[in-house]
């Protein structure tokens, strides 16, 4: 192991353990406030998962352009990525925010929020201030949160199926759901996956390169740290940011944001006007285990369940190595959208997904021609409507 990696691990350990100085941050910028600000109707729906987490979903039932004409609108469900939330889809406003664009195009737009994020920090019996609340990772988002939210949407709307859009971890959890609970294929008409993250051994995220070798070992730190919220300490992040992205002083502020430290800050498509709102809503909170699980993938090259080390694996899974997710068996029409400069979803890893999926369900694999398009540009990149969303919406309409 190289020296910088040792240093990185220590730093990351400090980041993860340090008392969160951001705790209790109460932002006034929320999904509801943003949607209201633009004059669209917004609803909140509360859903309880079968393991007790209480999630808040957001819904734009109709567009302010059309008003509520009582017509039945096709239902679409948007699922955010790691450290993100439903705010992702509305932050860039009616011209570029996917939730608004879909609403204007006639859809009934539902946005999920995974356990642990800003809008989903409640549980029937556990407090988010205590460690047992944080005993989850994206496997649980796939097998508990997505089913609860999707079923609720279908119940509320009286529909039998919906269309799914996921970004990043919202694509990982999609594959968890569809490999673990295959009957959900009947409830998802098509899946539109932005920056799909399944296999990860080629990820280029700086945080993975530094933290992966040690933190991605089976069982490495979970016992030591216990379950905790990944709440990066501001000072530690600033230190890490100044080490990792000293070259781009223009976006120094971003370099102390965990999301950008992982997703990259070097995009020419970043809209500077949006930075204050992005910083106010992200990172939106997750469990440290979600990050460990991704780092395990980076190390192992497998897309499989959490590795607790052979002894605990045997207890939990009845075998020494964690079971893999059977991606080949997924049977939902899938559309992939990916790019060259994506630190999380590298081309090699996306290709592996693309050629593993059953060819009869892969409807599109669109590699953006924009070479500098990065992982977060799939949400907020300048010109995203023309560059990407027009195509996504066409696919949704034709699926």
Ligand X SMILES: *[C@@H]1O[C@H](CO)[C@@H](O)[C@H](O)[C@H]1NC(C)=O
Residues near ligand X, by CB under 6 A = 92-93, 95-96, 271, 273-274, 382
- In the bound state with ligand X, the residue whose beta carbon lies nearer, of 347 and 391, is 391
Q: What is the token pair recorded at 310?
A: 């052979």
* Count of CB atoms situated within 10 Å of the CB of 365: 18
Residue 190, φ and ψ in degrees, nearest 5: -160, 155
- In the bound state with ligand X, the residue whose beta carbon lies nearer, of 282 and 346, is 282
Q: Which residues pair with 47 in a beta bridge?
A: 55
User: Residue 221 in contact with residue 292, Cβ under 8 Å?
Assistant: yes
- In the bound state with ligand X, the residue whose beta carbon lies nearer, of 52 and 93, is 93
- SS3 assignment, position 109: strand
Q: What is the token pair recorded at 294?
A: 């991704």
Burial of 155 per CB tally in 10 Å (0-12, 13-18, 19+):
exposed
In angstroms, give the least distance from the CB of 392 to ligand X. 17
Rg (CA), the chain: 20
How many whole angstroms separate alpha carbon 19 and alpha carbon 26?
17
In angstroms, give the least distance from the CB of 351 to ligand X. 30
How many whole angstroms separate alpha carbon 68 and alpha carbon 75?
15
In angstroms, give the least distance from the CB of 254 to ligand X. 15
Give residues with Cβ within 8 angstroms of 372, minimum separation 6: 266, 267, 268, 269, 340, 341
User: Residue 231 in contact with residue 23, Cβ under 8 Å?
Assistant: yes
DSSP state letter for 185: G
In angstroms, give the least distance from the CB of 381 to ligand X. 8
In angstroms, give the least distance from the CB of 31 to ligand X. 15
- In the bound state with ligand X, the residue whose beta carbon lies nearer, of 188 and 270, is 270
Helices and strands (H, E) in the chain, number of each type = 18, 9
CA dihedral 204, 99, 180, 296 (to 10 degrees): 20
Longest Cα–Cα distance of the chain, Å, equals 64
* Residues with active-site annotation: 168, 342, 375
In angstroms, give the least distance from the CB of 40 to ligand X. 15
* Residue sitting closest to ligand X (CB): 271
């Amino acid at each position: 192991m190289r020296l910088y990696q040792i240093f990185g691990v220590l730093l990351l350990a400090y980041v993860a353990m340090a008392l969160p100085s951001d705790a209790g941050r109460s932002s006034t910028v929320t999904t509801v406030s943003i949607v209201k600000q633009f004059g669209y109707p917004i609803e909140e729906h509360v859903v309880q998962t079968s393991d007790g987490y209480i999630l808040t979903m957001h819904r734009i039932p109709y567009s302010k352009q059309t008003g509520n004409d009582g017509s039945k609108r096709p239902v679409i469900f948007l699922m955010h990525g790691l450290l993100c939330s439903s705010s992702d889809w509305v932050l860039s406003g009616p011209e570029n925010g996917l939730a608004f664009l879909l609403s204007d195009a006639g859809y009934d737009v539902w946005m999920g929020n995974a356990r642990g994020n800003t809008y989903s920090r409640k549980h029937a019996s556990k407090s988010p201030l205590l460690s047992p609340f944080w005993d989850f990772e994206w496997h649980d988002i796939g097998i508990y949160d997505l089913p609860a939210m999707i079923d609720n949407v279908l119940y509320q709307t009286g529909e039998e199926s919906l269309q799914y859009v996921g970004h990043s971890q919202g694509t990982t959890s999609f594959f968890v759901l569809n490999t673990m609970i295959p009957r959900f294929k009947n409830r998802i008409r098509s899946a539109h996956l932005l920056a799909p993250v399944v296999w990860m051994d080629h990820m280029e995220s700086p945080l993975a390169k530094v933290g992966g070798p040690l933190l991605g070992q089976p069982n490495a730190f979970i016992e030591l740290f216990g379950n905790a919220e990944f709440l990066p300490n501001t000072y530690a992040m600033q230190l890490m940011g100044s080490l990792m992205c000293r070259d781009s002083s223009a976006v120094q502020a971003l370099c102390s944001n965990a999301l950008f430290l992982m997703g990259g800050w070097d995009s020419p498509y970043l809209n500077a006007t949006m930075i204050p709102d992005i910083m106010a809503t992200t990172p939106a909170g997750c469990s440290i285990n979600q990050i460990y699980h991704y780092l395990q993938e980076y190390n192992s090259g497998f897309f499989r369940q959490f590795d607790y080390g052979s002894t605990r694996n045997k207890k939990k899974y009845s075998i020494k190595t964690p079971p893999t997710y059977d991606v080949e068996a997924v049977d939902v029409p899938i559309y992939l959208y990916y790019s060259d400069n994506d630190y999380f979803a590298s081309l090699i890893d996306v290709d592996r997904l693309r050629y593993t999926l059953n060819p009869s369900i892969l409807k599109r694999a669109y590699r953006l021609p924009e070479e500098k398009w990065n992982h977060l540009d799939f949400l907020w990149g300048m010109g995203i409507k023309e560059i990407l969303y027009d195509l996504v919406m066409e696919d949704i309409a034709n699926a």
